[in-house]
Structure 1
């Protein structure tokens, strides 16, 4: 470590440039990772953050709510067996606007018994009163200009609702969720007030062992992950971003390998001199690894600070989610990539001949 740090201080410009490149790479990796997680959350947080652990959904629906129809009798049968651990769930995409503003906002309607375990946790306001037109909405609508007391109008039926509460992390297919009571649900059906007694799924608050024992005709048990990965566009979106992040790591490995190898070649004479005066290859290898690890750790710290600093300046409408655990995992992976990239340099150090390096064969 002494030799590694002394060399870094002696050639500040060279190692500062290398550190700058490493900072830019890790910054890009962390930022894209945060965007990927943010988009994933924006697409499916209403399911991921749900109190339900499993869902009963119609067979041959590919685990998609829009393709599933569950009858009222099926819901009743399951509720008789599981009691408060089961509740019917309805999901519908729609568009709303305010009376004063003609700009439209895409939303997702979620309807279920407000006394069930799926009742949303509020961050502001209060739950709507029974029999009223009061609703709770995700804070995404708040970011789009709606506030407590705002009146929203359904585009299909012109039915109006008053927002009396906000919740968070309740988005579906990149739209904010508006929670409706069963009565309100019927009011947004076309034709208006149509008697729609069907559901899209049955939400379950049960263990994995219990889920494996369920057997209902025409229904299959799906986990949260099954539902999330089958949201239209979710897998494709995440697959593209994951591939992008993977390629960033691959590019980082090649770039760092080349940089470290070039620097190692430039120091062949120095390594030869050190070997000639008795330095062991293992000592030189440790010194090189210490140097790379030091640069990587410093770059990772700065890269993380830059990422969270920029994230704090992003508008709330931009989905970005980078938890400390994810940042730590990405940083450790980047450190591993940097150390793996040093293997070629270590091989070159091991092959240095002391006599040849100092010109003893001339």
Structure 2
């Protein structure tokens, strides 16, 4: 440890340049990771926030809410198996609304829920869906940027149905569009106004709280439907997997690049110091000690650069606009930091191998020459 720190203090410029590059790479890795998590949450926040464990959907819906259709019969069957309180209807429809009296259009997703049920989010501002009553909606606070306020009347472009904004919910979205929560009664009226169905109320899914045995029983007794885990339903939201796959590939490449850059830097430095390493070996310094010294330098540089990178990302997150989908929770930050350190140490293995291969006599001969 003494040797590693002493050398870093002696060659400040060299190691400062390496540290600067590592800070930039660490910052980029953390920022892209936070952006990926933020986009994932923004794409599926409303579904991810729900307390359901499974969603009962139509058999041929491919796990997608917008393709699924179930009726009151399926809802009653599910309630008879898992309990009335553990199965609730969920309607999902992507649509366009306008603010009454204005021509601007807003793309939103309607989510029909029981106003007093556990699928309904709490109101961050204004009245809850249960308090506001029929004809009112609970909307995502993102719509404030479009001029929507409590009391604003929204008009569905397809059916002409009108709702009054009763309150705002925080971070509720579906497929990157703001969510509008409406009551079952308003959902039924919307279906009648749209001319959908044959008079019987239909939903996109039945949200259930079920253990493994109950889920298997539901699947067995209701062959026309399919039990979909919440994680599978989230992944099936249009664009979710493609978006996350692209960002994940970018993060993986950044990890590989950081390990490669670090490996090249330290390998070149190790070659330049071959004579010194050879002399140290000749006077009795163990190879393990020299290898540990190289690995410790990498660890110290990585940890210091990572700490600075975390501070920079946190500072940037504090000034990002509210519309920017950025999310970096503690668990993700810890996992990403651990992976970054592991990849950096892996990149130092080439230098460690080079140190172990240095022959003391050859190194001394080169130094004498």
What's the TM-score, normalizing by structure 1?
Answer: 0.94
Is the CA contact (8 Å cut-off) linking 1:89 and 1:202 kept in structure 2? yes
Aligned pairs (5 A) from 1:146-157: 146-157=148-159
2:243 counterpart (237, 246, 252): 237
How far apart are the structure 2 equivalents of 1:144 and 1:259? 51
Q: Counterpart in 2 of 1:3? A: 3
* Unaligned runs of at least 5 residues, structure 2: none
Which range moves more in the overlay, 61-70 or 152-161?
A: 152-161
Partner of 1:311: 317
> What SS does the corresponding residue of 2:124 show, helix, strand or coil?
strand
> Deviation digits for residues 26-76 of structure 1, max 9, x if unmatched?
111111111111111111111111011111111121111111111222222
**Alignment match, 2:110:** 109
Q: Deviations over 1:248-300 (max 9, x none)?
A: 11122211111110111111121122122221111111111111100000000
The Cα shift of 1:143 comes to 4.2
Residues 32-51 of structure 1: pairs in structure 2 closer than 5 A: 32-51=32-51
| C-alpha separation in 2, matches of 1:211 and 1:77 | 12
2:78 equivalent in structure 1:
78
Matched, 1:95 2:99: no
- Note the 1:272-351 alignment, pairs <5 A: 272-351=278-357
- Point out the more displaced range, 324-333 or 148-157: 148-157
Shift of 1:149: 2.8
Q: Is the 8 A contact 1:107 1:175 kept in 2?
A: yes
* 2-structure distance, mates of 1:196, 1:141: 32
Q: 1-side partners of 2:67 and 2:53: how far apart?
A: 20
State the Cα distance separating 1:112 from its structure 2 match: 1.9
Q: 2:212 aligns with which of 208, 211, 219?
A: 208
CA distance in 1, matches of 2:104, 2:49: 29
Q: 1:37 aligns to what SS in structure 2?
A: helix
Cα deviations across residues 63-112 of structure 1 (Å, max 9, x unaligned)? 11111111222222322332111111110001122235432221110112
Structure having the larger proportion of residues in helix: 2
Which digits, 9 at most, give the CA deviation of each residue in 1:212-239, with x for residues without a partner?
A: 2222130111100111111111111111
Unaligned runs of 5+ in 1: none
Contact 1:187–1:193 under 8 Å retained in 2: no
Q: In structure 2, what is the equivalent of residue 159 of structure 1?
A: 161
Work out whether residues 143 and 316 of structure 1, in 8 Å CA contact, stay in contact via their aligned partners in 2.
no
SS of the equivalent of 1:180 reads strand
Secondary structure of the 1:102 match is coil
Equivalent pair of 1:48/1:224 in contact (CA under 8 Å): yes
> Which runs of structure 2 are paired with 1:178-257 in the superposition (5 Å)?
178-189=180-191, 191-192=193-194, 195=199, 197-214=201-218, 215-257=221-263
TM norm structure 2? 0.93
Secondary structure of 1:356's aligned partner: helix
Aligned mates of 2:137, 2:200 — CA distance in 1: 20
Aligned partners of 1:131, 1:29: CA distance in 2, in Å? Answer: 46
User: CA offset at residue 7 of structure 1?
Assistant: 1.1
